[in-house]
Amino acid sequence: MTTRSTATRPATAEVDRQLLARRLADLDAHLRSYGSVLVAFSGGADSAMLLAAARRSLGAEQVVAATALSPSLPAVERAAAADFCTGLGVRQVNPTTHELQRAGYRANAGDRCGFCKSELLDTLGPVATELGLNVVATGTNADDVVAGFRPGIVAAAARGARTPLRDAGLTKTDVREASRRWGLVTWDKPAAACLSSRIAYGVQVSRERLERVERAEDGLRAALAEAGIAVRDQRVRDLGDRARIEVDSVAVPAVDASTQVRAAVLAAGFDSVEVDARGFRSGAMNELLPDPERWR
């Protein structure tokens, strides 16, 4: 049994390498077919890898990164996105989006992401035209489309956004591995969804709530560092007047026992704070949605 296992691992690894190579070749073909592209660049691992791939395929002159200025994008993410574009040698533009002017976005029902993505693509389309770029592309990957609950993907598709990572079959694992090989600093970057995703469905999204969540997460990050509690993923969820802290499950006991960490989140303006005993889970707010099937 040991011999079989030892022989199988290299063979499996080789298959994985070949599969990734084919998918990257397909990605290159998709990007070259565009001629030029405006990449919707949030600064996350997926859009960063797409931006780097576009530059490799088309050259810097035919690629522009668009990082929208929005109250739902934390300042720390905007700064990191700008640094990444500078390092890559790609032009970045920062159009302003106005999600908060859309009633459906403010209402924060299960289709909130659809209104957000609609605003983004309605903004980026004219920007691409003005810059003489042929298409707008997002960092949607092959895993995203089978995740189930993604109204934003539907909205982007309705507006003609291209999804080259998805079309090439690149998964999140593929994106991270390719990014690692290319030396991108984002290869192991934790997921960083927009600030509105922290607000419980049914609680209205407002600029004040988004700013409060951002203050709470900045405070949480600083308090964790000062307390010497190492975490990879962290969130502050806005449940109304109450905040819920999510961190890696192994760090939950230390965070739960820290009055310093709790105080940092309370200082942002919440009446009370709790620590989720289950730990960080991407998309945890969907668990509170009464009927997710309605929004698929």
SS3 67: coil
pLDDT category of residue 145 using cuts at 50, 70 and 90: confident
Residue 84, both tokens: 């990444």
- Residue 287 binned pLDDT confidence (cut-offs 50, 70, 90): low
Q: Are 167 and 26 in contact (CB under 8 A)?
A: yes
* Token pair 């303006």: residue: 269
Torsion region of 149: left, alpha or beta (phi above 0 gives left; psi -120 to 50 gives alpha): beta
User: How many other CB atoms sit within 10 Å of the CB of residue 181?
Assistant: 11
Joined together, the tokens standing for residue 129 give 């035209």
CB-neighbour burial class of residue 259 (10 A; exposed 0-12, middle 13-18, buried 19+): exposed
The encoded tokens of residue 223 equal: 């308090």
Which single residue is written with the structure tokens 């395929």?
A: 57
Q: How many CB atoms are closer than 10 A to CB 275? A: 22
pLDDT of residue 284: 63
pLDDT at 123: 97
Q: Residue type at 81?
A: A
How far is it, in rounded angstroms, from Cα 248 to Cα 253?
A: 10
Q: Of 4-8, 130-134, 277-281, which has the strongest mean pLDDT? A: 130-134
Q: What is the pLDDT of residues 156-210, one digit of tens each?
A: 999 999 999 999 999 999 999 999 999 999 999 998 889 999 999 999 999 999 9
* pLDDT over 80 at 15, yes or no: no
Q: What is the Cβ-side half-sphere exposure of residue 266, based on CA atoms within 13 angstroms?
A: 11
CB atoms near residue 230 (< 10 Å): 12
| Helix orientation angle between 2-34 and 45-58, rounded to the nearest 10 degrees | 60
pLDDT surpasses 80 at 148 = no
Single-letter code of the amino acid located at 20: L
| Residue 282 backbone phi and psi in degrees, to 5 | -60, 130
CB 108 within 8 A of CB 196: yes
Rounded Cα distance, 68 and 65, in Å: 10
Dump pLDDT digits (tens) for 84-134: 999 999 999 999 999 999 999 999 999 999 999 999 999 999 999 999 999
pLDDT for 12? 76
The CA-based dihedral angle spanning residues 195, 196, 198, 204, taken in that order and rounded to the nearest 10 degrees: 140
Residue-level pLDDT at 291 = 58
Take residue 34 and report the two structure tokens written for it. Answer: 């565009």
Domains of the chain: 2-182 (3.40.50.620), 195-295 (no CATH)
CB 66 within 8 Å of CB 127: yes
Kindly report whether the global pTM for this prediction surpasses the value 0.75.
Answer: yes
Band (pLDDT 50/70/90 cuts) for residue 1 is very low
Measured CA to CA, the distance from residue 260 to residue 224 in angstroms comes to 9
Average pLDDT over residues 216-238: 97
Task: Between 290 and 90, name the one with better pLDDT.
Answer: 90
- For the segment 239-248, what is each residue's pLDDT rounded down to a tens digit? 999 999 999 9
* pLDDT tens, position by position, 61-83: 999 999 999 999 999 999 999 99
